């Protein structure tokens, strides 16, 4: 089994007529994802790769009953798009849009929670369950090159590094149960801590691999639960250690910033917290596959 989405997940793409979304929808179909409808206001009646397009989520849901949404709309429209999907009882939204105002994100996450919708993102590349389905553009035009089915659950703030981690494991004969691009913004709908119970309950996931960046305290919160609430082995690589020497500067994702004198959020602090919690933290990215093999033998 996979977490969050599998071969039976039916998918709605909001903003499907946009250039990037149209290309992504083709790649999702080619992977076997069940994309049943798209929505772009004013484009109802059109088709994108034979996917019917509707003016509203209400129309699409009434005819196709999607269980998940991929949101690829301009930032100023993202909050309304997510809320519209939540109102019509879609339970999972993968929000690809970046640069959404932080207040909008807070409001849409709160509303989604009240409607029992899980949000991944914003600024997420999507999720993939190898051999089953893909929501978003994770893996690009040839996801099979990086994503091999296997026992490792992968979570990363970085979309590019989600694929790179999977590809590194693949090159060493290791595969992935589900890979999640969590999103690199300071406020996201789901954090590491939200995904861990799902991986913990998934019999196909034997080890959880994290690609971690400086900034924020999401990882430190997770570390307090390891070994107590979560028993599966965890392998971690912390990137961007140089950021610790340049406090107050932002790099890459909006959340990659370490406040001067705060301690929390630094790469060094994350390494220390995870090691104290019993996770295996590798010093070099290239060491991930062997660390995963060791974890699989011990589990």
Whole-angstrom distance, CA of residue 53 vs CA of residue 15: 9
Whole-angstrom distance, CA of residue 68 vs CA of residue 9: 7
Q: Where are the alpha helices (DSSP H) in the chain?
A: 19-31, 57-64, 75-87, 102-114, 159-171, 192-201, 218-223, 267-276, 288-298
CA–CA distance from 28 to each of 23, 52, 56, 143, 224 (Å)?
A: 9, 15, 21, 10, 37
Secondary structure letter of residue 246 according to DSSP: S
CB 211 within 8 A of CB 239: yes
**Smallest Cα–Cα separation from 8: which of 65, 72, 88, 89?**
65
CB 236 within 8 A of CB 212: yes
Answer yes or no: 253 catalytic.
yes
Whole-angstrom distance, CA of residue 6 vs CA of residue 128: 9
**Smallest Cα–Cα separation from 145: which of 178, 125, 179, 168?**
168
- Helix (H) or strand (E) run with residue 155 in it: strand 149-156
Considering the candidates 64, 88, 170, 253, report the single residue annotated as catalytic.
253
Q: Is 80 left (phi over 0), alpha (psi -120 to 50) or beta?
A: alpha
The answer for residues whose C-beta is within 8 angstroms of residue 151's C-beta and 6 or more apart is 174, 175, 177, 204, 205, 206, 207, 296
**Smallest Cα–Cα separation from 7: which of 112, 111, 109, 149?**
149
Enzyme catalytic residues: 253
């Amino acid at each position: 089994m996979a977490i969050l989405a599998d071969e039976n997940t039916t998918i709605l793409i909001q903003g499907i007529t946009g250039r990037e979304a149209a290309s992504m929808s083709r790649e999702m179909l080619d992977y076997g994802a069940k994309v049943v409808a798209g929505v772009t206001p004013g484009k109802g009646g059109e088709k994108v790769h034979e996917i019917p397009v509707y003016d509203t989520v209400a129309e699409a849901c009434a005819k196709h009953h999607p269980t998940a949404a991929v949101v690829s709309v301009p930032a100023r429209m993202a909050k309304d798009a997510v809320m519209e999907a939540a109102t019509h009882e879609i339970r999972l939204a993968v929000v690809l849009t970046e640069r959404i105002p932080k207040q909008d994100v807070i409001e849409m996450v709160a509303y989604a929670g009240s409607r029992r919708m899980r949000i991944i993102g914003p600024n997420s590349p999507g999720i993939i369950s190898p051999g089953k389905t893909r929501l978003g553009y994770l893996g690009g035009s040839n996801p099979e090159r990086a994503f091999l089915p296997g026992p490792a659950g992968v979570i990363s703030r970085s979309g590019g590094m989600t694929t790179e981690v999977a590809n590194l494991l693949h090159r060493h004969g290791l595969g992935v149960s589900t890979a999640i691009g969590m999103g690199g913004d300071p406020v996201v709908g789901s954090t590491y801590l939200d995904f861990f119970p799902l991986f913990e309950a998934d019999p196909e996931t034997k080890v959880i691999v994290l690609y971690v960046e400086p900034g924020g305290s999401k990882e430190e919160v997770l570390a307090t639960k390891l070994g107590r609430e979560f028993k599966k082995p965890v392998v971690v690589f912390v990137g961007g250690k140089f950021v610790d020497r340049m406090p107050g500067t932002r790099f890459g994702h909006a959340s990659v910033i370490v406040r001067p004198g705060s301690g929390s959020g630094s790469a060094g602090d994350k390494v220390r917290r995870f090691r104290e919690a019993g996770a295996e933290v590798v010093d070099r990215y290239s060491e991930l596959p062997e660390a995963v093999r060791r974890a699989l033998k011990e589990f």
